[in-house]
Structure 1
Amino acid sequence: MVVIEPEETVLENTLKPPQPASSTSKTTTDSTSSETSTTTTKAAAAKVNGSDSDGFETASESGVSDKEEEQEENVNKEISSKNTTEDQPKQDTQKDDELIQRGIEEANEAKLEGNRLFGNGQYEEALLQYDVALQVSPPDVPSSVELRSICHSNRGVCFLKLGKFEDTIKECSKALALNPSYMKALVRRGEAHEKLENFEEAIADLKKILESDPSNDQAKRTIRRLEPLAAAKREKMKEEMIGKLKDMGNSLLGRFGMSIDNFKAVQDPNTGSYSVSFQR
């Protein structure tokens, strides 16, 4: 049977002092003997410490110089600074998203309050709430475009109820700038134009409604009703313009003892052109 001696026994044998050398070995220099003894001692010490370096110095044994420690610390700082710089845009984006979401929520609350006040006939108070919604909603965010368009249109109908038709047109135009196919804004602006006798402009808005909704019978009926009014207004404006031109011509020709009545325009039935003749 083979008996394996414990590690301590091996270590003890390793650390026994060397036996006196023979006369022949004395020829070896004392320095060689000293180096051998030192190497043996280091190897034994390495095994005692559980090191597998076989007697070679490791970084833990020799220590790290102050300069190396400083370099390592600088590298760690650079890595930490780089990580912080890379994370900063993400943190800023997250904060921006939170602010945008909060602004949209507050704008929705103000809009709903405005709707409630409008339903109660409190148009001035409703106007203020819609204005608050427009102030807190982020202007350049796609998710708030529809909300802002609705608030402008709602302000337009408030002004319509208050008889401020010019303001209605302005607010509905802002709503349509954000959403060109917003039907309610077109209807309200068209109604305001009709109130101001801007029949041509009202008809133009109604025709835009028909482009999006050809089956809108109300728009068709309103156009048929407004077209004669628009034609009558055009004729009236023409007569007013001719009257002004006559007055201007008479003031000039009067210096020479003449007037517009001395000139007569005759239409050629074949060409449709006019010729002017002078009569005393």
Structure 2
Amino acid sequence: MSDRLKSTNSVSNEEVIQDLTKNLEFSLRPDDDDGLNSSDHVESCASGDSSKASPSVDISFKDEDDEVKNEQSDKDDSDTDSIDELSLKDAEVDLTDDQKSERRSIAETLKTMGNLAFKNEEYERSIEKYTEALKICPLQFNEQRAVLYCNRSAAKLKLERYKHAIKDCTKAVELDDKYVKAYYRRAQCYEITEKLDESLEDYKQMLLIDPSHKEAQSAMVRLPPLIAERNDKLKSEMLDKLKDLGNMILKPFGLSTQNFQMEQDPETKGYKINFKQ
């Protein structure tokens, strides 16, 4: 903290944060993009974090990527809010423990602002604030960063950016592999995008962590029949296409697939083909 603030008895939150952030520089390059809670809410704090912040404080970082709003749907693979952790790691090399603690507090303030924007249904702004928090929160604070990613995924889910929401949830569970809410949001996104097998796997993981989770229990009953129905439909479509191909090949010979009958051996479960004129 600067000597000016140390020698001042009364300063505002905004003055403190501006003083802490005035020399921070980030050159974050976006990564290539690959990749709700039932109450639709975001988490206000990470486990073990008692930091408090005023939602009236506004913080902005002058980064070109931050000024570009992600107004695109999942039809576009661009992801303007990717976090370059290599650059963050380089920026943290010479930081003292006190400086890392200060950055953590700033990230908590930004998260509070993101939560407020989410509650006000300002989802774009909430994404911006969570992203700013991720760009300043030291990498060593895994639980706090996991919450930031999970909260950001909630806003993306609201905006129907399911692919990017899945990516954020995946990052959250990489940081905290017991994070049930992140698995749940990802499972929801997978189900919405008809990735039913992946959704079922996330619900199974949730039950390993919390066997009493009602939504996961319900999904274990709901999804298997849907997966079986989908697989039967795909199988039927595939056989129809093979039949059309067979008819096209056999037509010059005056034959069709109707001339061939498949019979299953009840013992071996194998198939044999019988020809009939």
For Structure 1 versus Structure 2, the TM-score category normalised by the shorter chain is 0.5 to 0.7
- Segments of 4+ moved more than 6 angstroms: none
Aligned AA (1:219): A
Give the structure 1 partner of residue 248 of structure 2.
251
Matched residues in 1 for 2:251 and 2:108: separation? 68
Matched residues in 1 for 2:161 and 2:202: separation? 19
What is the 5 A alignment of 1:33-72? none
Aligned AA (1:120): N
Aligned AA (2:276): Q
Are 1:201 and 2:221 matched, yes or no?
no
The structure whose Rg is larger is 1
The structure 2 residue matched to 1:211, chosen from 208, 211, 226, is: 208
Give the structure 2 partner of residue 174 of structure 1.
171
Q: Secondary structure at the match of 2:102?
A: helix
Q: Could you tell me which runs of 5 or more consecutive residues in structure 1 were left unpaired when the two chains were aligned.
A: 1-91
Greater relative contact order (Cα < 8 A, sep 6+) = 2
Query: Which deviations, in whole Å up to 9, do the C-alpha atoms of 1:63-120 show, x marking residues without a partner?
Result: xxxxxxxxxxxxxxxxxxxxxxxxxxxxx99843233222212211111110111111
Which stretch of the first structure deviates more once superposed, 230-239 or 257-266?
Answer: 257-266
Aligned AA (1:241): M
Q: Secondary structure at the match of 1:181?
A: coil
Give the structure 1 partner of residue 109 of structure 2.
109
Give the structure 2 partner of residue 239 of structure 1.
236
Please report the RMSD computed on the Cα atoms of aligned residues, expressed in angstroms.
Answer: 2.0
Give the structure 2 partner of residue 148 of structure 1.
145
Aligned AA (2:159): L
Are 1:191 and 2:188 matched, yes or no?
yes
Query: What percentage of residue pairs aligned between the two structures are identical?
Result: 37
Give the structure 2 partner of residue 266 of structure 1.
263
Aligned AA (1:155): R
The structure 2 residue matched to 1:226, chosen from 223, 227, 244, is: 223
Give the structure 2 partner of residue 61 of structure 1.
none
Q: Could you tell me which runs of 5 or more consecutive residues in structure 2 were left unpaired when the two chains were aligned.
A: 1-91
Q: Secondary structure at the match of 2:263?
A: strand
Matched residues in 2 for 1:97 and 1:135: separation? 17
Change (3 A) 1:191 1:95: closer
Count of matched residue pairs: 186
Matched residues in 1 for 2:157 and 2:93: separation? 41
Aligned AA (1:128): E
Q: Which has the higher helix share?
A: 1
Give the structure 2 partner of residue 129 of structure 1.
129
Change (3 A) 1:95 1:266: closer
Matched residues in 2 for 1:216 and 1:98: separation? 39
Shift of 1:215: 2.0
Query: Which deviations, in whole Å up to 9, do the C-alpha atoms of 1:125-164 show, x marking residues without a partner?
Result: 100000001111223x2xx111111111111111111122
